[in-house]
Amino acid sequence: MSKEGEGIEAGNSAGQRDPLQQKGETEVDACAAKNGPKEKPHVVLPREAQGRIGQHLRRVYGEILSEPLPDKFSLLLESLAKTERSE
Amino acid sequence: MSGAPDSTNLQKELAQLVPNLRAFARSLCGNADQADDLVQETLVKAWRSRASFTEGSNLKAWLFTILRNTFLSERRKRKYEIHDTDGKMALQLSVKGEQSGHMDLIDFAKAFATLPAEQREALILVGAEGFAYEDAALMCGCAVGTIKSRVNRARSKLAEMLGVNEMDEVGVVVDDASRTRASAG
């Protein structure tokens, strides 16, 4: 099997795995990383345009990140932790 | 249970990542209320399955994967509607349109919302969250090349819609291997 095939297989198996079983094994895709140079080159935007798109994206995303958080999230986490302590 | 995080630490770490989960959720389902429901569901699932998380590994990637899979399975059940078509919901902004200086961001958010869901996702993971292509591929269950191609197509489309820059007719070949894990985060 070609290296490229292995990369695809690694991706698929990660997708099929029960997410709750997944242990954040971010290092297992080393074979796919090595495929980089073998993949066909991508035609991409000039660096400058990429940079400007990236800047916009991070600013928009940053707006959402910096929104004030409703209490419901900390209350939920607190109740999850409390339930455990009383178990 | 070995390697599972201490519950007090986990509570803190989850709380710190809530803003990222909300932003990612909103880029997926486009509706702020549904996004928050999705985040809450993710937190409950993460808490219940915390024994399967290895302390020291990438918590954010683990949570994003749970959130993503929850979203996809809920979407299959039709709980969350997709709002790609009207081009106004995804990456919804809280900023008001009248606020000066934000118009370019609103235009960007609108353009972003018209992208196909899988391109939005790839661009958020790589471009906004700074995940390595390899990590994004694992999270999405696809090949690294697929993620790269989605990111490139998303960028090109946005640039075209926003008139950021003309596409280089010949194209520029960029060696993505220069992107390293060190630059992620």
pLDDT of the residue at A2: 42
pLDDT of the residue at B93: 54
Q: Residue B132 above 80 pLDDT?
A: yes
pLDDT of the residue at B94: 46
Quick: pLDDT tens for A34-72: 444 444 445 567 888 888 899 989 998 998 899 999 999
Count of C-beta atoms within a 10 Å radius of residue B81? 12
* C-alpha torsion angle, residues B99, B103, B105, B107 (rounded to 10): 140
Q: Residue B91 above 90 pLDDT?
A: no
Indicate the domain borders of chain B: 1-82, 99-166
Q: Which of B47-56, B99-108, B113-122, B156-165 has the lowest mean pLDDT?
A: B99-108
Amino acid letter, residue A81: A
pLDDT of the residue at B48: 93
Distance of CA B163 to the CA centre of its chain: 24
pLDDT of the residue at B100: 44
Q: Residue A33 above 80 pLDDT?
A: no
Looking at per-residue pLDDT, the higher value among A39 and B37 belongs to B37
CATH of domain B99-166: 1.10.10.10
Looking at per-residue pLDDT, the higher value among B67 and B180 belongs to B67
pLDDT of the residue at B102: 63
Tell me if A63 and B145 make a contact (CB, 8 A cut-off): no
CATH of domain B1-82: 1.10.1740.10
Question: Chain B contacts of A26, Cβ < 8 Å?
Answer: 57-58, 61, 132, 134-135, 138
Q: Which of B7-16, B27-36, B147-156, B161-170 has the highest mean pLDDT?
A: B147-156
For chain B, give the mean pLDDT: 80
* ipTM of the complex in this document: 0.75
C-beta separation of B151 from B122 below 8 A: yes
pLDDT of the residue at A13: 40
pLDDT of the residue at B5: 67
pLDDT of the residue at B105: 80
Question: Cα–Cα distance between A24 and A64 in angstroms, integer?
Answer: 25
Question: Chain A contacts of B157, Cβ < 8 Å?
Answer: none
For chain A, give the mean pLDDT: 65
pLDDT of the residue at B79: 57
Torsions phi, psi for B173 (to 5 deg)? -90, 120
Q: Which of A61-65, B79-83, B178-182 has the lowest mean pLDDT?
A: B178-182
Question: Cα–Cα distance between B185 and B183 in angstroms, integer?
Answer: 6
Question: Cα–Cα distance between B38 and B61 in angstroms, integer?
Answer: 16
Tell which B residues from 18 to 47 touch A, by Cβ distance under 8 Å: 18-20, 22-23, 26-27, 36, 39-40, 43-45, 47
Tokens (6 digits) for A36: 């980089």
Strand partners, A44: B172
Q: Does A55 touch chain B (CB under 8 A)?
A: no
